[in-house]
Structure 1
Amino acid sequence: MSISSDNLELSGHLHLPFHNPTKTAIIIVGGRGCNADETKYNLYAKFFRKYGIAVLAYQKRGTGNSTGNCDLATVKDLATDLSNVKSFLVTHNEGFEKIGVLGISAGGWTMAKAEQNANFDFMISIVGPSTSVKDQQIQSATFGADFYQLQPTAKEKLIEYTNLMFDAKPTKKGFESMENLLASSEEEGWRQLLESTDIPKTETEIKNLWVRRHNFDPKNVLKSYANPFLGIYGERDWIVPQKENIELLKEYFKDNFENLTTVNAYNAEHGMEMESKWIDLGQNQWYWHFYRISPEVRIAIVDFLDKYKLIK
């Protein structure tokens, strides 16, 4: 299927349930990056269809079969696309009565930005930041440095560089200040905490860094959101740390707390994966916990959908 948006065409698939269909639909919004998401064999679609929910998975602009330029897209661009995808479902002949969105990681910012116009009936955020982009990047640098046990000087340089990603001027001087810090980044071990789109190749590229094109704070949107919201975070996630993000959500929803559900998935990392390790049951009994995706994610989603009568 193809959806028109902002003079572009978005490619994707609408997955309809075979049995016991509801009038509920969910749009899947991927995270950061320009890799083409799998839409035909989307795993979330397979999961939700079991509960009678239709799923629309699409490829963001400039990826896969969608037209446009992902490398220059802004959070406003992606939010516009998401709003148009929602409009497509509103007028669909299936007659959907509840249309929600599931945002993954940076997709959480996209869905919050889109909510300014889209009016989603519910939102599900899987490791989606409730902080601003800058706050998330600083938190990620701070917690990531500790996770990888970087030296204090390396941690300081990483945080300084992260601030320059937002503040450096697109001039020769600004570019050199970033280059000087990067010179020792591999040796000191902090280059691995950066994305390729965090590193400008020229001074003019500074203004087009990913964080600048997507700089957004979801605070006001989330504070005013009056529909059900589920936020799922990983206990071991240093990219979007659970404690800080859950506390913010509770603050944002303090006057609408009955619509907020938060989950801190045991032992899960940013991709909701759980590490392999021996588990001590006591009395000299142990078992090996295999690497896998946290089961809490699916359990929490089903409980959430059932609580608000979005599934039968």
Structure 2
Amino acid sequence: MRMIAVVLALWSAALAAPTYEDVRGHWIGALVKDGAPLNVHVEITKAEDGTLAAKLTVPEWIWYEASPDEARLTETGLVIKNFYAGDAVLSFDPRYRQLVGKVASKEEAIRVHLKKALPPPAPPFTEETVAFRSADGTLLSGALVLPRGREPVPAMIQLHGRGCGVRNTGEARVFARYGTAVLAFDKRGAGGSAGACGPATHDDTVADAAAALEWLAGHPRIDASRIGLRGSSAGAWTAQALVEEAKAGRAAVKPAYIVTWVGPGTSIFQQQLSSAAEVAAAEGLPEHAGPLSQEAVRLAAAEGVDKEAAFNRLLEIRKQAEEEGWYGRMFGGDDLPKTIEDMDTLFLRKFRYDPASLFAELTDTPYLAVFGENDPVVPLAENVEALGAIEAAGGDLTVHVVPGRGHGVEHGDDTSTLLNGEPYFKHDTVEPEFMIATIEFLRDKGFLPR
């Protein structure tokens, strides 16, 4: 009778509603849509006020760090709010300690299967918040991610694209796992950095990068001779200009290498002019949108023209683009003016740079340029041609083209087709070729251990 009572007690416990102790901790598994799996990790924790949270991590997204989502226990399992396009409604299996269910979404049928797992080991790096001052006294804030192990270590500085970018610590952690420290900082006026982002010029951006480089070179755990720059999009111009400043003796530390992702090799003016036509075609805009946009680029960049006349024409182009519904698909916030006072704050008046003179003499700085094959913002052919001046000068240039990619490193949910014509569903992910090409380059050039 006693054995039966024990069995009945265990059976009753198995039928009881799950508790926090049942669901807390680390889970691994997959989201499956149309037969396509997306590997995920979920960490379930409880706050002091008793509320539950579930933090989703998707290894394929490489560096995105999602905020924890609200979760709650039910009679049969767990509900996680806003879990990949909808609420995840999961049932708990006490026998095998698994959570199984689906994402409640009207548009998608996504199954979820999670299994209890060991928590991940301590990461092979440390992370600290840092601050340093630019030449004009502006205090910039960031994070320094340092790999554990033999020191001093090589290092990389993240340089953002256009706009008010903030530190990307997720990306920094990926690089740190392979052996390089990363300084990821907020642009002036963004995140934890002081100053104003909107009025910042190309010179301000380069000065901030120079301050980051000088500060990092003075860190006792960093090998100052192996600090490089990784510029994304417009961050390429920042990296190029900083190397040029160092070669001319106007910056205290010379960068050891340049890596650019979808970054231009042409001048700022030329990139804007070329992308105006390419973006218009790629977006399927009216036939006149490309020529009008190129006219706007020339007027915005022109020096010595009648300011009022230029403003009036730019305002006409802006109004036409707005009325026809393609303004936001072609122009950024500071591309065209609303008032005549805006003329002095246009992007092409704050940002002027041409790397051609640098490329003609860049013989001692390894350069990796990773492009998207179908990028309308940084058109492949003319930018590879511009970078060819490095090779012509006897420099060390590596170009890596990612098939099918545009201006960005992420490709969203899509239904694609195999060579045999069979369709399949592809989950949203970060294109790994950018990171793979960079790691291989850094290893080949001696900036990462093998």
1:280 equivalent to 2:407? Answer no
CA offsets 1:272-310 (integer angstroms, 9 cap, x no match): 22362322222x544333332222111101110111121
Q: Percent identity?
A: 31
Matched to 1:206, the amino acid is: M
Q: TM-score, normalised by structure 2?
A: 0.65
Cα offset for 1:153?
A: 2.1
Among 362, 374, 380, the alignment partner of 1:242 is 380
CA distance in 1 between counterparts of 2:353 and 2:227 reads 24
Matched to 1:13, the amino acid is: A
Aligned to 2:204: 77
Aligned ranges for residues 81-160 of structure 1 at < 5 Å? 81-96=208-223, 97-115=225-243, 116-117=245-246, 118-160=253-295
Aligned-partner SS, 2:259: strand
Question: Which structure has more helix as a fraction of its residues?
Answer: 1
Indicate if the aligned counterparts of 2:158 and 2:230 stay in contact, CA closer than 8 A: yes
Matched to 2:310, the amino acid is: G
The structure number with the bigger radius of gyration is 2
Aligned to 1:47: 174
Indicate if the aligned counterparts of 1:154 and 1:188 stay in contact, CA closer than 8 A: no
Aligned-partner SS, 1:98: strand
State the aligned residue count. Answer: 307
Among 149, 155, 176, the alignment partner of 2:312 is 176
Cα offset for 1:20?
A: 5.6
Among 348, 353, 361, the alignment partner of 1:211 is 348
Among 120, 138, 154, the alignment partner of 1:8 is 138
Aligned to 1:311: 448
In terms of mean alpha carbon deviation, does 187-196 or 273-282 score higher? 273-282
Matched to 1:28, the amino acid is: Q
Indicate if the aligned counterparts of 2:155 and 2:228 stay in contact, CA closer than 8 A: yes
RMSD between aligned residues: 1.9
Cα offset for 1:221?
A: 1.7
Gaps of at least 5 residues in structure 1 are none
CA distance in 1 between counterparts of 2:208 and 2:291 reads 38
Matched to 1:200, the amino acid is: P
Cα offset for 1:155?
A: 2.2
CA distance in 1 between counterparts of 2:403 and 2:159 reads 24
CA distance in 1 between counterparts of 2:219 and 2:167 reads 22
- Change beyond 3 A, Cα 1:252–1:189: farther
CA offsets 1:174-194 (integer angstroms, 9 cap, x no match): 211111122211343431210
Q: TM-score, normalised by structure 1?
A: 0.92
Aligned-partner SS, 1:72: coil
Aligned ranges for residues 158-197 of structure 1 at < 5 Å? 158-167=293-302, 169=305, 171-191=307-327, 192-197=329-334
Indicate if the aligned counterparts of 2:257 and 2:366 stay in contact, CA closer than 8 A: yes
Question: Could you say which structure has the greater relative contact order, defined with CA pairs below 8 angstroms and 6 or more residues apart?
Answer: 1
Question: Which structure has more strand as a fraction of its residues?
Answer: 2
Aligned to 2:68: none
Aligned to 2:436: 299
Cα offset for 1:233?
A: 0.7
